[in-house]
Structure 1
Amino acid sequence: MRILLTGSSGWLGRFLAPMLREAGHIVTGMDVAPGADTDIVGSVADRMLVHRLFGDRGIEAVIHGGALHKPDIVRYPRQAFIDVNVTGTLNLLEAAERAGHDRFIFTSTTSLMITQAIRDERAAQAVWLDEASGPLEPRNIYGVTKLAAEHLCRLAYLEHGMACMVLRTARFFPEEDDTHRELTGANMKANEFLNRRLTVEDAARAHVVALEKAPDIGFGTFVLSAPTPFSRDDCAELKADAPAVIARYFPDAAALYARSGWQLPRSIGRVYDASLAERVMGFRCESGFAEVLDALREARGMPFAHDADYVSPKERMGAL
């Protein structure tokens, strides 16, 4: 298929574009910043550019990964989030509808599921989060605009019958967390594979699977995260004494961590359940906390990327 991939210069795009080509697709990359996989430098907020691109390139399907993200809140006004994340998504959906497309893949975020209360971990136990969780009350303009874009995808399916897959990805960024500094970046990322992280490679693989499955599913919203070892029955103890719960599932985790000078989380306040993606899409992440421990056990490189100096191409170029 001739696929338009937005966000092609970004972290996800640099892994997803080669996977799509390996699967036999012809990829047109679009991004506001130049990149190895970017053919068109421009914004999805430019309606005329988007519609012209569909005609010029014969686009047959869209994977919409381009967006302003949570760290961009300190760099751009709210209107920019609306222009890119909402209007840009609408521009792509309308162009896809006009072209008669049968599938549209939208990269969303688990961030829009996190209310301020969940963010502050006010509950007495860990909050179990899946596609049925709600009410959804995003705590910032990023989450608000991504939720609005999800609803535009839902309307495209209801009104035009275009299959739309909404993929709420957990964390996969390589850089340091922009709000937490208690642990080293690699240690923190390793911990998050217990409850709210996946590798960028798994995120890319999920998009390829969604592209294939979309016509059969129609419309679907899926949480994407490494499979958690925990169950709902663990939630109270996870909040009170996470190391005790982890020890039941991974008896040597504490010793492996100590050998590396790392710390296990003392408390876990939320858990993402990605089992629906496995049941409906047939997708399961290849890397999880067990693979992190395998790497520690065998003294080899981690199965995830950590780059404290990573800066997105958009910011390097000052592109928006």
Structure 2
Amino acid sequence: MRIALTGSSGKLGTVVARELRASGHEVIGLDVIGTRSADFVQVDLTDYGQVVDALTAVNDTHDGFDALVHLGAIPAPGIRPDVATFHNNMPATFNVFWAAIRLGIRKIVYASSETVLGLPFDVPPPYIPVDEEYPARPESVYSLVKHLEETMAIELVRWHPDVSITALRFSNVMVPEDYAEFPSFDADARARKWNLWGYIDARDGAQAIARALEVAPPGFARFIIAAADTVMSRPNAELIAEVFPEVPVKAGVGEHETLLSIDKARRLLGFDPQHSWRDEV
């Protein structure tokens, strides 16, 4: 496929571009920053005209796209003021979705976020492991935008039943260079409780995107995307008893198994995370 990739210069985007190209796809990166090349276009996603032009053709380098992967955003709360986060992320996603659909792109995969599950869990989750079955609980403006984006996607596919939009609720993205710090997390169970001790290796994030591009049918679906394990050496039973003693625990939670359930992604996308920090440290 020829794939437009927004946010191609980001932490996840650079790995996604590399992995998709290695799989044989043609990837053209779209981002507000990046190095000039034949497969990169500098685009301000908050400017609809620029988005339309970039998705149509730039200097006749291509004649449109088969799919869109949208990762471009201010990537977390607290980086910029709340209003700046909203005014960047919400218009950017609307522009990208709207332009793609208008231009006939029928396969869209994008980065939603684990934050819609209720992070930082100052209000405990309804149960553990968390999954996609309970209503969104945004606790920040960043997360509110992610919830609004999912709501927008639901309506867009209702209007356009032939369009596929897949929201991947990525956990905290990590690369191998990050893993040296992980053993220090054991000292304080509360230091990483904010996302139930979860993470996702960027290479497995790219795998989830590739699977969604390949198999997601028309319509909207949301999936939690996390590593198969936690960031902790301490067992889950000990962590939950210390930090979330009143939260119901579903049967079958393994000693170090992720508490951000990836069962749905495994079942419907064929997602199968291959990378663990335990293999790197």
Could you list the per-position Cα deviations for residues 184-203 of structure 1 after superposition, in whole angstroms to 9, with x for gaps in the alignment?
A: 83225799798511211101
Show the counterpart of 2:23: 23
Q: Mean Cα displacement is larger for which, 125-134 or 158-167?
A: 125-134
Q: Secondary structure at the match of 1:129?
A: coil
Show the counterpart of 1:210: 212
Seen in structure 2, the aligned counterparts of structure 1 residues 235 and 13 have a Cα distance that, compared at 3 Å, is: closer
- Distance in 2 (CA, whole Å) between partners of 1:157 and 1:188 is 44
Post-superposition offset of 1:35: 4.0
- 8 A contact 2:3–2:69 mirrored in 1: yes
Normalized per residue, which structure has more helix? 1
- Distance in 2 (CA, whole Å) between partners of 1:210 and 1:101 is 15
Equivalent runs, 1:62-211 vs 2, <5 Å: 62-71=68-77, 73-74=78-79, 76-114=80-118, 118=121, 120=122, 122=124, 127-134=128-135, 136-161=136-161, 162-173=163-174, 185-187=181-183, 195-211=197-213
- Distance in 2 (CA, whole Å) between partners of 1:145 and 1:241 is 32
- Distance in 2 (CA, whole Å) between partners of 1:103 and 1:224 is 19
Post-superposition offset of 1:212: 0.8
Post-superposition offset of 1:174: 5.1
Could you list the per-position Cα deviations for residues 10-57 of structure 1 after superposition, in whole angstroms to 9, with x for gaps in the alignment?
A: 111111112211222221101111148861122211100000112114
Seen in structure 2, the aligned counterparts of structure 1 residues 175 and 86 have a Cα distance that, compared at 3 Å, is: farther
Post-superposition offset of 1:154: 1.6
- 8 A contact 1:7–1:30 mirrored in 2: yes
Q: Secondary structure at the match of 1:220?
A: strand
- 8 A contact 1:3–1:26 mirrored in 2: yes
**How many residue pairs end up in the alignment?**
255
- Distance in 1 (CA, whole Å) between partners of 2:211 and 2:99 is 23
Post-superposition offset of 1:84: 2.5
- Distance in 1 (CA, whole Å) between partners of 2:36 and 2:23 is 18
Show the counterpart of 1:307: none
Unaligned runs of 5+ in 1: 178-183, 243-247, 254-267, 296-300, 303-320
Seen in structure 2, the aligned counterparts of structure 1 residues 113 and 47 have a Cα distance that, compared at 3 Å, is: same
Seen in structure 2, the aligned counterparts of structure 1 residues 188 and 167 have a Cα distance that, compared at 3 Å, is: farther
Equivalent runs, 1:204-283 vs 2, <5 Å: 204-214=206-216, 216=217, 218-228=219-229, 238-240=239-241, 271-283=259-271
Q: Secondary structure at the match of 1:79?
A: helix
Show the counterpart of 1:309: none
Unaligned runs of 5+ in 2: 244-252
Equivalent runs, 1:41-52 vs 2, <5 Å: 41-52=42-53
Post-superposition offset of 1:60: 2.4
Q: Mean Cα displacement is larger for which, 193-202 or 148-157?
A: 193-202
Show the counterpart of 1:9: 9
- 8 A contact 2:174–2:199 mirrored in 1: no
- 8 A contact 2:174–2:200 mirrored in 1: no
- Distance in 1 (CA, whole Å) between partners of 2:205 and 2:30 is 19
- Distance in 2 (CA, whole Å) between partners of 1:63 and 1:138 is 23
Show the counterpart of 1:298: none
TM-score normalised to structure 2 length: 0.78
Amino acid at match of 2:201: T
Q: Secondary structure at the match of 2:199?
A: coil
Amino acid at match of 2:261: D
Seen in structure 2, the aligned counterparts of structure 1 residues 286 and 176 have a Cα distance that, compared at 3 Å, is: closer
Amino acid at match of 2:30: M
